[in-house]
Structure 1
């Protein structure tokens, strides 16, 4: 037997594969059999790590939400000023990190239209982003609370565009933030 055949898949491998499958093929791909085929494994391996599909879906959603929250916290910690934090947060929203060449956040948002767990996670992430955007805007002297929603919506729209239509989404959303800062 080769090492690949004797090596056990981890829970993280199933989660990563699920996020990639969600991004590329939608929520229909989030079933044990298609995921096992994608990994070259058996459904038994899936059920070794997860009690059932709802438990797997919950783990997938939780992992995505935690990763997005951590990405914001870690990236903003590296910035030195509130204007640079504001600009970088807007860019984070616009630049959904891809898995297997497909953007995860638009797929998660689409799944959230019919899945309560995904919907709750998206709502929590949106609330956290809006809170952070609002706080940063207030700290730089922009008092209009709607500006946080405008920046958030513009970033989401850019991330949701087809890959060839996104262009330089982080650069474009950065320009929007620069304009808002110049007009304050």
Structure 2
């Protein structure tokens, strides 16, 4: 079976989610796929190139495509709820997010993680602006929401089953505060 770049980055994403940055290594990935390491090297000159393509794929699938999906929602409240539900659902089988956060100082990971974080915070800020917050307060709400997301991803990994009841209430609290802030 001839594998494509997408096949290898998919396998690398799974390895990253299951075993962290160290698990993204050419020989173990090839062995796991029943292929030779030459099959990987056909598409990527080295591990760093594979890793870069993998995290850029993660960026597209877990940020850009998620934002496109969420934008189909009607109200900012619905969009926020869809956003949280979607991103948390995508982390249930292992967390690429936590593996990348743990490797945030790696030279390949750092610029992508920084770019993704800013894009996500920018998008969340816009949602909170649409909910009626001023830009500065919206940015603070975005930071709170993103922190909540990272905390829930961690809880999902270490304390499964405790995240779902928190999700709806968290979105309610974050959006309800917009209404309260307008009345003050």
Q: Same fold (TM over 0.5)?
A: yes
Instruction: Give yes or no for the alignment of 1:172 onto 2:169.
Output: no
- 2:30 is paired with a residue whose SS is helix
Name which of 77, 87, 94 aligns with 2:71.
77
Aligned to 1:103: 95
Alignment size in residue pairs: 175
Q: Would the alpha carbon gap of residues 150 and 119 (structure 1) be closer, same or farther in structure 2, given more than 3 Å must change?
A: same
Do the aligned partners of 1:19 and 1:60 also contact (CA within 8 Å) in 2?
yes
Three-state SS of the structure 1 residue aligned to 2:3 is: coil
Matched, 1:54 2:45: no
Query: Which residue of 1 is the match for residue 126 of structure 2?
Result: 135
Aligned partners of 2:114, 2:160: CA distance in 1, in Å? Answer: 24
Task: Return the alpha-carbon distance in structure 2 between the equivalents of residues 56 and 128 of structure 1.
Answer: 23
Q: Distance in 1 between matches of 2:23 and 2:154?
A: 20
CA gap 1:68/1:50 in 2 versus in 1, 3 angstroms: same
- 1:118 equivalent among 109, 116, 124: 109
2:24 corresponds, among 27, 30, 46, to 30
TM-score, normalisation: structure 1: 0.85
Partner Cα separation in structure 2 for residue 85 and residue 165 of structure 1: 26
Give, in whole Å, the separation in 1 of the partners of 2:91 and 2:174: 25
1:57-86 alpha-carbon deviations (Å, 9 max, x no partner): 111111111111233223213211112112
- CA apart distance, 1:147: 1.2
Change (3 A) 1:80 1:147: same
Bigger Cα displacement from structure 2, 150-159 vs 63-72: 63-72
TM-score by length of 2: 0.85
Q: Calculate the aligned-residue CA RMSD, in Å.
A: 1.9
Any stretches of 5+ residues in structure 1 without a counterpart?
1-6
